[in-house]
Amino acid sequence: MESNCFIEILNAELVMAFGCTEPGAVAYAAALARKHSSGSEIRKIEVSASVDIIKNVAAVTIPGTNRCGMDLATALGIIIGSSEKKLEILSAIIPQDVIKAQELITQTPITVNVAQTPYNIYIAVTLETNTDQVSVVLAGHHTHLAKLEVDGNVLTDDFPSDDNNHILKLEKLLTIDNIWNFVQNIEMSNLDIIKRLIKINNRLGQEGLTSSYGLEVGRTILNNIGNGFLPDDLCSYAMALTSAGTDARMAGCSLPAFANSGSGNQGIQSSLPVVAIAQKLNKNEETTIRAVALSCLISIYVKSSFGRLSALCGATVAATGASSGIVYLLGGSLEQIKYTSQNMLGNVTGILCDGAKAGCALKIATCTSAAVQSALLSLNNIAIQSTDGIIEENIEGTIHNLGKISKIISNSTNKTILNIILDKKRVY
């Protein structure tokens, strides 16, 4: 029974996403609104979204467009339709769609407002046509339909009680001890989703290493390994492969990523450091899959306290999972996995999330380096002590402290970050 719950968690939290998750969610909401509208002429488009959503759409490239923005993501969703694709909706883009979306924006300006909402994930799209008015609200989860209203008739009213509501019922199972036992004992046939995740995310990382995307953080690291400026070691290659995946994704690469807890970058961060080190050490497939499964589940566990979106960088959480996966890969014990989690949360906590963008690859590289360092320390039974900062005697207490910090810092910090982003757009 417990194993089935862990598999349910993996299937719920590890999903395919095309491009950055937030523009995809905005496009999905717009596509849903258009699906339920029968009007042939769109007269008014209004979008209201949480600070976290707007912050993460502002500067990230939408696949197939070389452009960004809430208005473009909304218009593309209306033009493309294909709401059944959910977070892969932008995979259907063709050049003509971009032209039509720009025409829609010109003819029917899209109003975007910051929503006053308790949800970190909140997107409301209202379409007014020549015959009807449709409102769609996604809340709590990137694809959760919280409300559907057509001409004043509420057809769906399903607001979740919490941003993590869909896994809260299982949260008591999410302890490092239980995750360790699951990974050690589960039959490999039940981890097909991890096998697919490794294949998809590794392909994205390799694409970032071989082609020019964004800041080229991964390619630059790899080139500097080649010219001798950086050592050809586990850490350097893990940094190169992982940041290359984010380089590609943030620049609108046409390849999908497996997301973790609603974030493609966290899916990359929680998998590719482990995959890179497994490749360097020629680890067998089973060991690699179990190590990545451990990383993904620990990331989900910490994220359930941290929040799905935050003013703090989610790469720190996913890198904590990756560090644990690296310890497992190198033959470490359960206690050493707890040590490395303590080390990570005492190290990289506090990195701000200032929106999805090319620069995320630098944060991914930094967190990957920290993950390898923390893992190696823990394998020598070295851990930050409970006398220090937010660290508690047990890892569960440290994770709880991280969650408190994330929730307290998010409101005021997020608003400040968004104001800075919007002020720059007014200037430029």
Q: Report the b/e string of 286-307 with b at 16+ CB within 10 A.
A: eebbbbbbbbbbbbbbbbbbbb
At 428, the pLDDT band (50, 70, 90 cuts) reads very low
307 to 93, 170, 234, 399: CA distances (angstroms):
31, 15, 31, 12
Rounded to a whole number, what is the largest CA-CA distance in the chain?
Answer: 69
Q: What number does CATH give the domain 14-157? A: 3.30.1330
The count of other CB atoms within 10 Å of the CB of residue 129 is 17
pLDDT for 408 equals 85
At 170, the pLDDT band (50, 70, 90 cuts) reads low
Q: Are 13 and 260 in contact (CB under 8 A)?
A: yes
Cα dihedral 377, 382, 388, 390, rounded to 10, equals: 60
pLDDT for 410 equals 73
Average pLDDT, rounded, for the chain: 92
Residues 26-49: pLDDT tens digits? 999 999 999 999 888 999 999 999
Residues 313-333: pLDDT tens digits? 999 999 999 999 999 999 999
At 289, the pLDDT band (50, 70, 90 cuts) reads very high
Give the amino acid at 128.
Answer: E
Residues 399-418: pLDDT tens digits? 999 999 988 887 778 889 98
4 to 1, 11, 14, 396: CA distances (angstroms):
5, 10, 15, 23
Residues 272-286: pLDDT tens digits? 999 999 999 999 999
At 427, the pLDDT band (50, 70, 90 cuts) reads very low
Compute the distance between CA of residue 322 and CA of residue 328 in angstroms, rounded to an integer. Answer: 10
pLDDT for 421 equals 87
Beta-strand relationship, 110-114 and 42-49: parallel
Mean pLDDT of 6-11: 92
Q: Are 18 and 256 in contact (CB under 8 A)?
A: yes
Residues 197-219: pLDDT tens digits? 999 999 999 999 999 999 999 99
Q: Where are the domains positioned within the chain?
A: 14-157, 170-427
pLDDT for 424 equals 79
Q: What number does CATH give the domain 170-427? A: 1.10.4100.10
Q: Are 124 and 110 in contact (CB under 8 A)?
A: no
Residue 92, pLDDT > 90, answer: no
Residues 244-258: pLDDT tens digits? 999 999 999 989 999
Residues 110-168: pLDDT tens digits? 999 999 999 989 999 999 999 999 999 999 989 999 999 999 999 999 998 765 554 55
pLDDT for 169 equals 53
pTM across the whole model: 0.93
